[in-house]
Chains A and B, each alone.
Chain A
Amino acid sequence: MTPSNRRYLLRRLLLLVPLLVGLTIVVFALIHLAPGDPALAFVSEGSIDPQIVAQVRKNLGLDQPLPVQYVIWISHVARLDFGTAYTFNGTPVIELIEQRLPATLVLQTAALALSLAVSIPLGIVSAKKQYSAIDNTATAGAFLGLALPNFWIALMLQLLLAVSLGWLPASTPGTDETTGIARLKYLVLPVIVLALPTLAVFTRFVRSSMLEVIKQDYVTTARAKGLSEPTVTYRHALKNALIPMVTVVGTQLARLLGGAVVVEYIFAWPGLGSLAYESILKRDYPVVLALTLLTGAFILVVNMLVDVAYTLVDPRVSFR
């Protein structure tokens, strides 16, 4: 890595900390502004006692002024102590996240892989046979995939494939007796729903990128040399067309940990997305804050890595 690249990397790394702190301040303020009192999660329909609620608020530290609460929380986080959840049986937040993280990673990685696997060939074909039937279908499909809300697609797929036809299960069971390949069937629907928007974006990108590259001189030269068509397409055109894709894939990758809240909820996929949804509903502040911090840090780091990777992939680019 050149010295200028190294300096850039260092600067980005140092910027991470104030950015994250700013993020936490915003989220902290917002979550406390939402109406609803976490202490009320500790009462039931039949037994509401104002004294108990007051004591619970005291135990959770909610009777302190907001800035004080924030400082207490951030000082714990600096020691990597994310606290225990208010609900969830008082499990340490780290454990909760550990439990749910693999599920989200599996889901998002599979979705990313699927969209890449489908979009790249589709984009190439679209580009080479521009305005043909395949290209038009792919374009229309891409716009549909972007325009249709993912919860609607999820529900429609569930209705069609799971309820009406019964080909696939409608949602994920917690744990059951199936292991191995049999468990793959629970992955199919959520992955399809998650992959559709990114598939659409990637296809369009590969298509336009390829179109640009195919018209370049070096591609004509390669053909003139007598190289076979696959060699021209893959070894010469595609390799260069994929350079801008690094950024696009990077941004989609950054969404990975965010977890697709809606999709995970609809399919009862036990990942970070549904954890975020549940903890927001229950006003479980420690979990919400830890998740936001984690997601934010992940996004910032991935963006930084994408920028660096870009310089590695494209020798024409460097930082001053």
Chain B
Amino acid sequence: MHRHSSELNTLSLTVIGCQGYSVMPKMAFRGTDTPSMDEPANVSPERADLIVRQFHRYEAYFDRFGIDRRQFLRMIAMGGAAAVVLPVLEACGATTPAEVAQATAKPAAQPTPAAQSTTAPAAQPTQAQTASTTSTARSGGRIIIGTLGEAQSINPLLANETEGQWRDKLLFEELVEIDLETLKPAPNIAKDWQVSDDATQYTFNLRDDVKFSDGQPLTANDVSFTLHAILKKEVASVHAPRFNGIKGAQQYSSGEAQTVSGIQVVDDHTLKITLDQPNAAFLSNLRWVRPLPKHLLDGKDLVNDPFYQSPVGAGPFMFKSWTNGQDFVADRNPNYWESGKPHLDGFIHRVIADSQTLVIALQTGQIEGSEYALPTQADQLKATGNLVVMVKPQGVDTNGWSFGQKTNPALKDPRVRRAIAMALDTNRFSTDFLLGLGKPARSPIPPGMWAYDDTLQPIPFDPAQAKQLLADAGQSNLKVRLTTNAGNHFREDWVTFTQQSLSDIGVTVEPDVKEWTQVVKEGTDGTFEMICPTFAGVLVDPDELYLPLYSTSPRNVMGYSNPQMDQLLDQGRQTADLDKRKQIYSQVQQIINQDVSSFYAWDRPFVSVTSNKYIGYKNTILSFFNELEDWSQA
């Protein structure tokens, strides 16, 4: 009542005081006089009382009918506006349960302050750009690593591209790892091994303290299970060709046998593998065996099981979440066998749209490390002040031309191939197009590797001689088609450069720059004439040259055939003596240089970038973040 009277007083004052514009709804005054616009400002008290009584009636009417039409319409309008604005707010306001969990889980996952890591290697690293962790490495921190390509799969049986394979390594752990400095096989899950005298029997002793992230111990059964999974035909694992040499592998693949006779589980921590023939690269190949938990996958679909949506592995990090196209989040694995590691709480692998955005993200700290910054942006990144920028050692990605002898018969003649190589000035290409950051190459083997032959002479740049060779081979009117993938501007420049250089010696060139999947198809089918990438390179073991170069190999898509090469390749894999192998592969490289089965022209430059917050990295030809378990905050 009190409220009403004060309202009424205010209202009567308003009516009397205002110039006459009525704000009262017309409905309430149905049948009564509407105060007109010409009403004099001063109203007599009787008139004021009348108006006040009319207001009472209005209120009564309002009470009877509840809400009126105009109010209803106003409500609809506001509701509509809210419906439009809410999604926008929702986008910004929502903290997903994952983020909340992360925020609350962080303090819980802090390890004890006394981090017991003795990771200082006994032998001093010779690499100039190394920062090794001290024995009291700080614990904590979650590094954000940027990548340009999203991983396709984190199934260790299927992952076939760098991102997926890197994640696999950190989630599942390799049976045998590659030492970053010597690029030779080193103990990991397999703590040591004995090789029989005839080099066909390997006995592996596994560590007994390796556990999966769910706490279950990793045994030789899991390793055997994984090897069988790789060899299973239905799985179509990319790594199957590497292990076809195991005794009984073919029979198992074809379904004749239930198990592989050459894989023998002696006890929980001992595994014996027998090969059909000696193979020096077998140990290096074992880095692709990343044990899957048999207790979770036995009898399941090894390709499609939902296990792979949130996998369990024995690696230093365990899977947390993965939003495809955005962030892949992993946490420290509390059950990791190397105590005190990883020092970091976890990592985030973030997909960035393009290289320009990547650079901006590095500069603003949105990501803290990447391998994909363009070398041309190295200076810009260094200028930021808080980034460590290193050029990767040469040989990560050797480019040039592979010759498809089956498709273009003119290329069967080594003189023609040599002529083409001689017409290309790789020094000029490196300085002009790679800006001196990438260097000319001479061999499919990276220069830092033990097998590299540093006595190799580069193929000289001599267009006159090239023309002569073509004339000698009777191919003065040669026509070739160059294939490469669109989107890789180094390779696209290489095509232009080649076109120019070759037309200078009278060769007609048809450039064919296309989409990656189509390039791979040509590379697989062997329907290319000249193709870059070469599909015939070496990263870890020179035996990788076997499949593309051996004359009867099913993957010899180039159609290259040289009996001497075959012999050398066979010898190279049969002996484990490093010196002997070095000599053999030296000869292999000399033959490649002479025969030019593929022309290895230039090495693509890469830079590794990391925030200076972190230490523990090593700059090698393998992935910069390969041993993330060694990293820690500075």
Inter-chain contact A179/B325, CB cutoff 8 Å:
no
User: Nearest Cβ in chain B — how far from A229, in angstroms?
Assistant: 14
- Known contacts A87-B152, A270-B323, A52 near B238 by CB under 8 Å: yes
User: Nearest Cβ in chain A — how far from B103, in angstroms?
Assistant: 10
Q: Which chain A residues (41-58) contact chain B, with CB distance < 8 Å?
A: 41-53, 55-56
Question: Counting CB contacts under 8 A, is B247 at the interface?
Answer: no
On chain B, the number of residues with a Cβ less than 8 Å from chain A's Cβ atoms is 62
Inter-chain contact B92/A89, CB cutoff 8 Å:
no
- Name the residue among B90, B234, B524 with the largest chain A CB count within 10 angstroms: B524
* B328 (CB) vs chain A CBs: closest residue: A174
Inter-chain contact A56/B524, CB cutoff 8 Å:
no
Q: How long is the Cα–Cα vector from A89 to B310 in the complex, in angstroms?
A: 11
Mark A82-112 against chain B: 1 for CB-CB distance below 8 A, else 0: 0010011111000010011011011001101
Inter-chain contact B309/A91, CB cutoff 8 Å:
yes
Q: Which chain B residues (80-117) contact chain A, with CB distance < 8 Å?
A: 84-85, 87-88, 90-95, 99
8 Å CB contact of A47 from B85, B94, B239, B350? B239
Mark B302-333 against chain A: 1 for CB-CB distance below 8 A, else 0: 01100011000000000000111111000000
Q: How long is the Cα–Cα vector from A234 to B546 in the complex, in angstroms?
A: 80
Question: Counting CB contacts under 8 A, is A183 at the interface?
Answer: yes
User: Nearest Cβ in chain B — how far from A78, in angstroms?
Assistant: 21
Inter-chain contact A175/B323, CB cutoff 8 Å:
yes
Inter-chain contact B153/A90, CB cutoff 8 Å:
yes
Question: Counting CB contacts under 8 A, is A12 at the interface?
Answer: no
Q: Given the complex, which residues of A lie within 8 Å of B325, measured CB to CB? A: 100, 174, 270, 274-275, 278
Q: How long is the Cα–Cα vector from A40 to B535 in the complex, in angstroms?
A: 14
Q: How long is the Cα–Cα vector from A267 to B236 in the complex, in angstroms?
A: 37
8 Å CB contact of A173 from B241, B350, B557? B350
Q: How long is the Cα–Cα vector from A99 to B309 in the complex, in angstroms?
A: 14
Question: Counting CB contacts under 8 A, is B578 at the interface?
Answer: no
Q: Given the complex, which residues of B lie within 8 Å of A268, measured CB to CB? A: 352-353, 357
User: Nearest Cβ in chain A — how far from B516, in angstroms?
Assistant: 8
Question: Counting CB contacts under 8 A, is B276 at the interface?
Answer: no
Q: How long is the Cα–Cα vector from A105 to B88 in the complex, in angstroms?
A: 10
Inter-chain contact A179/B238, CB cutoff 8 Å:
no
Inter-chain contact A270/B326, CB cutoff 8 Å:
yes
* A105 (CB) vs chain B CBs: closest residue: B87
Q: How long is the Cα–Cα vector from A90 to B308 in the complex, in angstroms?
A: 8
Inter-chain contact A44/B238, CB cutoff 8 Å:
yes
8 Å CB contact of A88 from B91, B152, B521? B152
Q: Given the complex, which residues of B lie within 8 Å of A90, measured CB to CB? A: 153, 155, 303-304, 308-309
Mark A166-204 against chain B: 1 for CB-CB distance below 8 A, else 0: 000011011110011111100100000000000000000
Q: Given the complex, which residues of A lie within 8 Å of B237, measured CB to CB? A: 52
Q: How long is the Cα–Cα vector from A100 to B350 in the complex, in angstroms?
A: 16
Question: Counting CB contacts under 8 A, is B154 at the interface?
Answer: yes
On chain A, the number of residues with a Cβ less than 8 Å from chain B's Cβ atoms is 62
Inter-chain contact B92/A43, CB cutoff 8 Å:
no
Inter-chain contact B554/A179, CB cutoff 8 Å:
no
User: Nearest Cβ in chain B — how far from A227, in angstroms?
Assistant: 11
Question: Counting CB contacts under 8 A, is B366 at the interface?
Answer: yes
Inter-chain contact A37/B517, CB cutoff 8 Å:
yes
Q: Given the complex, which residues of A lie within 8 Å of B391, measured CB to CB? A: none
Q: How long is the Cα–Cα vector from A253 to B540 in the complex, in angstroms?
A: 55
Q: How long is the Cα–Cα vector from A102 to B356 in the complex, in angstroms?
A: 27
Inter-chain contact A179/B95, CB cutoff 8 Å:
yes
Inter-chain contact A91/B324, CB cutoff 8 Å:
yes
Inter-chain contact A50/B324, CB cutoff 8 Å:
no
* B98 (CB) vs chain A CBs: closest residue: A175
Inter-chain contact B88/A106, CB cutoff 8 Å:
yes
8 Å CB contact of A89 from B91, B154, B160, B238? B154
User: Nearest Cβ in chain B — how far from A272, in angstroms?
Assistant: 11
Q: Given the complex, which residues of A lie within 8 Å of B90, measured CB to CB? A: 106
Q: Given the complex, which residues of A lie within 8 Å of B539, measured CB to CB? A: 46
Question: Counting CB contacts under 8 A, is B537 at the interface?
Answer: yes
Q: How long is the Cα–Cα vector from A170 to B88 in the complex, in angstroms?
A: 19
Extra A-B contacts (8), CB below 8 Å, given A47-B160, A109-B87: A41-B152, A47-B241, A49-B240, A50-B524, A52-B237, A90-B153, A96-B324, A171-B357
Offer 9 A-B interface pairs, CB within 8 angstroms, sorted by A: A37-B517, A40-B524, A44-B160, A49-B554, A52-B236, A103-B91, A175-B323, A179-B95, A180-B93
Chain B: residues with CB nearer than 8 A to chain A?
Answer: 84-85, 87-88, 90-95, 99, 150-155, 158, 160-161, 233-234, 236-241, 303-304, 308-309, 322-327, 350-353, 356-357, 360-361, 366, 515, 517-518, 520-521, 523-524, 533, 535, 537, 539, 544, 554-555, 557
Chain A: residues with CB nearer than 8 A to chain B?
Answer: 35-37, 40-53, 55-56, 59, 84, 87-91, 96, 99-100, 102-103, 105-106, 109-110, 112-113, 163, 170-171, 173-176, 179-184, 187, 265-268, 270, 274-275, 278, 281-283
